[in-house]
Amino acid sequence: MSEFSRLTPLIQSLPATVPFVGPEALERQRGRKITARIGANESGFGPAQSVLHAIRQAADETWKYSDPENHDLKQALADHLGIPSENIAVGEGIDGLLGQIVRLVVEAGMPVITSLGGYPTFNYHVAGHGGRLVSVPYADDQEDLEGLLAAAERENAPLVYLANPDNPMGSWWPAERVIAFANALPETTLLVLDEAYCETAPPDALPSIESLIDKPNVIRTRTFSKAYGLAGARIGYTLSTPGTAQAFDKIRNHFGMSRIGVAAAIAALADQNYLKEVKLRIANSRDRIGRIAGENGLLALPSATNFVTVDCGKDAAYARGIVDRLMSDHGIFIRMPGVAPLNRCIRISTAPDAEMDCLAVALPQVIRKLASG
């Protein structure tokens, strides 16, 4: 009997792949250390000192399981957002929560609507649960709200995914357009509104909590991985009606959270002064990426995230050449969108000045090499 024959037919049909190649894997493949890690949309600015203090304190109790009800973290989030804790579910980062959402809603063969070139981890979960992806192309580097709505209605889809602000393009829709989109969806379609970059977005990009919290077919996902600087802690949460939030209890890993990560998230919420400081540093770094791009004949697109998508003005092969040569020649890790026409671009995460200095030196050298063939 083949070792693969023990797997379900669905799993046998899937490729052995991951949504992203990690920087550690690139180091192993290329045989060189990364000098500027500016490709994964982490926060190189790190968490607040108060958060690091909380982590050190919690380390002594890491032999204990975390509270399976996540009571303290949900209450801290509720106090911060001004909503009841019953509207909140907690999970192992947005990626883990997306997998649970798909599991809650999608059965084999069901259509799921997303944007062509959008966040690939969502697609990964849909495929892993047997869903059928229906992709809508971007329009002018933004997710196409009208196209997504039309596809959801045409396919009678149980699930539609929208990231606002968007990854990988950094674009965003104003709050009133997002609310109108949510209201226009069929009641039978659940909207996953991914707000991973909500802290770095302009205020008018985010629907108020009250505007969507009572809609049973809307679930918003948020994270501590970006502006709060806790990507490695894997802390995400959802905002929804109580009934939707409680549905996670049917399938979630009740001991999936770490005590250290939970303590870090609670401390991060309590230190909003540091968040304000980091948001300013992110904005300054976005500006610097824009200047570096312009100095090298490239065009930085407007961004509401902690990264900047840069239009290289040519084709995917040229963008790939920049990505690969920055890594192979200079140890600078960046990424690029995966499908046309978005893949004419590269994507650079904001970071402290030292990493930006490396980029400023390396990028013109790479472009000159590509020009010389």
Query: How far, in Å, CA of 141 to CA of 167, rounded?
Result: 11
Query: What DSSP designation does 159 have?
Result: E
Pair 92, 258: CB distance under 8 Å: no
* Cα gap 255→266, rounded to integer Å: 18
The token pair at 253 is 């890993």
Task: Classify burial at 39, counting beta carbons within 10 Å of its beta carbon; exposed 0-12, middle 13-18, buried 19 or more.
Answer: buried
338: part of which helix (H) or strand (E)? none
Q: Which residues pair with 191 in a beta bridge?
A: 160, 218
CA distances from 341 to 39, 234, 323 (A): 20, 32, 17
Cβ atoms of residues 188 and 224 within 8 Å: no
- Cα(58)–Cα(50) distance, integer angstroms: 12
256 vs 360: CA distance, rounded Å: 41
All domains in the chain, ordered by first residue: 3-46+273-371 (3.90.1150.10), 49-271 (3.40.640.10)
pLDDT in tens, the chain (373 residues): 566 678 999 989 998 877 788 899 989 988 889 999 999 999 999 999 999 999 999 999 999 999 999 999 999 999 999 999 999 999 999 999 999 999 999 999 999 999 999 999 999 999 999 999 999 999 999 999 999 999 999 999 999 999 999 999 999 999 999 999 999 999 999 999 999 999 999 999 999 999 999 999 999 999 999 999 999 999 999 999 999 999 999 999 999 999 999 999 999 999 999 999 999 999 999 999 999 999 999 999 999 999 999 999 999 999 999 999 999 999 999 999 999 999 999 999 999 999 999 999 999 999 999 999 7
Quick check: 36 and 333 in contact, CB under 8 A?
yes
